[in-house]
Amino acid sequence: MDITTKLSALHSLVQTTLQAQDANFKVYDRPRQLELDMKSRAQRTRIMGDPIRYCEVLHDSVQADATPTTLLASGKQIRTIQRFTIEMIVEYSDGANLAASSYKTFLDFLHSESESTPGLVYKIRTTNTLTSGGEVVSLGNPDNVVTELIPVDNQNKEFVHYALITVDVI
């Protein structure tokens, strides 16, 4: 499976998973955020939604010694390992408690174990393969999940929850 087909298959999984929790979640298979601190909220929400629910699925890297297949010590060949990043942004809002805060929503987008609306990390961990055009590739567990609160507008003190997830597609 070529790289754009792997990207499309992973993008489809991410989009389906996030939009099951919020149909207005914007999920892209190409860079769109460019700058978080855009000149106006209107510019941000045009691309990222209102409230901001935004995700990009992007190719990150290829295994350093990549060839069309990799020969394992056992003699078995596997397809080239492609690493992808998933960047997820959810608008911050305070609440009286965890249940009423945007942090709870953010955590659900990532880690919910609900069968009907699984979180993204949970869905990736429980999905072993991706299929596209009759081809099947293996989906690795998320290699790293980093979360933080970052400013999107320093002047107006607006923040977003940010997650960076790395995952291999073989």
| Tens of pLDDT, residues 82-102 | 899 999 999 999 999 999 999
* pLDDT at position 77 over 80: no
- At 2 the pLDDT is 83
* Structural contact between residues 46 and 104, judged by C-beta atoms closer than 8 angstroms: no
Strands of 16-157, DSSP E: 26-28, 53-62, 69-71, 77-79, 82-91, 129-132, 135-138, 144-153
Q: Does domain 3-169 have CATH number 3.30.2000?
A: yes
* pLDDT at position 37 over 60: no
| Tens of pLDDT, residues 129-157 | 998 878 888 898 898 899 999 988 777 78
Paired tokens of 162: 């940010």
Q: What is the mean pLDDT of residues 55-79?
A: 70
